[in-house]
Amino acid sequence: MNSEIKQAFGHPEIRSAATSSDPKLDRLSLRDHIIEVEIGAFQSERGITQRISFNIVVEVLPSKGAHTDNVDDILSYDSVTEAIAIEIAAERLNLLETLAERVAARILLEPQAERVFVRIEKLDRGAGALGVEIVRSQEETTAAKEINYQVAPLIIHFPMGAIGSEFLTGWIDQIIALDRPSILTVACSSVGTTVGDQIAQRRIELLAMEQTAWRLSANDRRCVVVDSWTELDWGLKNNQLSTWAPSKTVLDCPDKELSSVTNALDLSNWLCGELNADRLVVLDPTAEVLTWQGDK
């Protein structure tokens, strides 16, 4: 077997050694770390867990830990396994590529980490292992870290009576005039009769909220419909007035207790907590001037 094939199919440590440069870096490795997790883009992968294998190599600058025998002087193995656990718990993901990127980025938050190789494989989707491998460095993530700041948005909930109101344009004018990051959430339109399947009913109710979000956007194009954490974050950082379409973020949330929450206002409260929002307020659909029925 030639060296290129060995590098392609061997443990990431082989690639790390083959592409090393000065100054020489030490290596911390994790091998065959297997976790059961719900992940995947196909409907057949929802509601079930499958085994995911992690093989990771972290290149670090030589430390004094070998001489002091002090765990505080090294990058701990726990930092690697915790990065995996945190990213798995944060959100249900469709792609291994996304999970690999997030795990790599979190590991590179450690000041000792210079470069990281992340290989993730699904073990239960066929006769072999299906996976992805990436390599990322401190240099590639520095710019992203510099713009990763926390914002405290205002979340404004629109009851059904507000969506087609003659006051809508004026309300949007006033919200924009506040000159602060804001997200609009909407009530659930009528879903008609219920169905016997709980999962199907859940999706019907979420889609009813999304229909309302698109109605709001159609009535005022400044209300941009977004359906992912990435779009929400971009909107907050770029003064976009985002209208939340909840299906993706809610269905991808690993918190199983959220599956029983169907009230649109309760979901708005959940979003408020997830984004560390300043507050959630409910629009008064009877008032021409922007006023609140109350803080939640």
- Among 123, 145, 167, the domain-final residue is 145
Phi and psi at residue 191, in whole multiples of 5°?
-100, 0
Q: Are residues 124 and 185 in the same domain?
A: no
Model confidence pLDDT, tens digit, residues 255-289:
766 766 768 888 999 999 888 887 888 998 888 88
Identify the active-site residue in 59, 87, 91, 122. 122
State the average pLDDT over residues 31-35.
95
- Among 114, 145, 176, the domain-final residue is 145
- Model confidence at 1, pLDDT cuts 50, 70, 90, reads low
Higher-confidence position of 123 and 199: 123
Instruction: Respond yes or no: is residue 122 known to be catalytic.
Output: yes
Q: Can you read off the two tokens belonging to residue 287?
A: 């008032």
Q: Is residue 103 part of a domain?
A: yes
Phi and psi at residue 154, in whole multiples of 5°?
-100, 130
State the average pLDDT over residues 131-141.
84
Range of the domain at 114: 10-145
**From its phi and psi, is residue 53 left (phi > 0), alpha (psi between -120 and 50) or beta?**
beta
- Model confidence at 228, pLDDT cuts 50, 70, 90, reads confident
Q: What's the distance, Cα to Cα, between the start and end of the chain in Å?
A: 65
Q: Are residues 159 and 288 in the same domain?
A: yes
For 190-199, the CB contacts below 8 A with 24+ separation are 199/47
Question: Is the pTM higher than 0.85?
Answer: no
Taking a C-beta distance cutoff of 8 angstroms, is the pair 14, 20 a contact?
no
**Average pLDDT taken over every residue of the chain:** 82
Taking a C-beta distance cutoff of 8 angstroms, is the pair 248, 228 a contact?
yes
Residue 261 CA: distances (Å) to CA of 232, 265, 286 = 21, 10, 27
Instruction: Respond yes or no: is residue 257 known to be catalytic.
Output: no
- Model confidence at 4, pLDDT cuts 50, 70, 90, reads low
